[in-house]
Amino acid sequence: MTLNILFAANAQRWADYETHLHAALSDLGMIDYQLAEQIDPKDVDYIIYAPDSALQDFTPYVKSKAVLNLWAGVEAIVGNPTLHLPLARMVDPSMTQGMMEWVTGHCLRHHLGMDTHITATPGTWEPSAPPVTWDRKIAVLGMGALGAACARSLAALGFEVHGWSRSLKQIEGLITHHGPDGLRNALNGADGVVLLLPKTPETENTLNGDTLPFLAQGAFVLNPGRGPLIDDAALIEALNSGQIGHATLDVFRIEPLPQDDPYWRHPNVTVTPHIASETRPAYAAKIIAENIRRGEAGEPFLHLVDRNRGY
């Protein structure tokens, strides 16, 4: 019997993914299948999905076995009242690698004080070597696949890395904390903080006027996770006071970031346009194909979303 796989995303993503998905499915020995942007809902077995898709009512998909999200974030779909199917988020090794590179690069940039020399007036000669990584503490908030990978990369360079998550997570080789008290311990005296938490009501404004002062004076903030993790007004205030030395921000509550947003004009803020990492179709297609294989073999799906937690 033909397996019917609906690609429910925009036309550009179809152009990006079609060839890679066929190759990934073929590599797993799948031959008798239909992969298309239009399939009768009652016949669809799997839905490959992007939350900005026109498909918002899942009620007609009566025989579907799973929704396979193309994005790591699921906040735009997890609360859909018509969605009762298993939902798998995207955990793409190339996305993890890209995020690890972005976080590691910017941590080293701030640790080494690179901006001072890059923007220095020609002829300036003020030698001042930074401390070694052993003398720097960095807090990584969020110990999912992305956070754990970034924490390991930073720890491998010698940083004293403290990871934090809302619930207990023990990761070999890393110092981890959890819960409200653990958040203070992770942040206390940290020279930098990396935010890689999911966006949920519980994680909104994790960095705020109460938690920012836990950091060392002049600490840096990196946010490649979700815009709402930061209380923006509190961060601006901390930047103005010198409590935070620099913030490098890749995600925002409104994107693109409005031209009149104060982050654009602040001398101690670097804005990057949501490019810390992204899903690469060639690699993501393999994850999608593997989940379809698992579904057909009766095996557990990879990266299932916990509806109660929202991620």
Mean pLDDT (the chain, rounded) = 96
Residue 195: phi and psi, rounded to 5, are -105, 115
pLDDT at 97: 96
178 a catalytic residue: no
Q: What angle, rounded to 10 degrees, do the helices at 93-112 and 281-297 form?
A: 140
Say how many residues make up the chain: 311
Express each pLDDT in 100-155 by its tens digit.
999 999 999 999 999 999 999 999 998 989 999 999 999 999 999 999 999 999 99
pLDDT at 73: 87
Express each pLDDT in 265-301 by its tens digit.
999 999 999 999 988 999 999 999 999 999 999 999 9
pLDDT at 307: 85
Given a contact cutoff of 8 angstroms between Cβ atoms, the answer to whether 302 and 276 are in contact is: no
Say whether pLDDT at 310 is over 90. Answer: no
Given a contact cutoff of 8 angstroms between Cβ atoms, the answer to whether 153 and 132 are in contact is: no
Express each pLDDT in 85-107 by its tens digit.
999 999 999 999 999 999 999 99
Q: Which of 274, 293, 294, 307 is catalytic?
A: 274
Name the band, by pLDDT with cuts 50, 70 and 90, for residue 156: very high
pLDDT at 4: 98
303 a catalytic residue: no
pLDDT at 311: 86
Say whether pLDDT at 251 is over 90. Answer: yes
Scanning the structure block, which residue is given the tokens 């910017």?
106
Q: In the structure encoding, which two tokens stand for residue 310, read together?
A: 């929202």
Express each pLDDT in 163-220 by its tens digit.
999 999 999 989 999 999 999 999 999 999 999 999 999 999 999 999 999 999 999 9
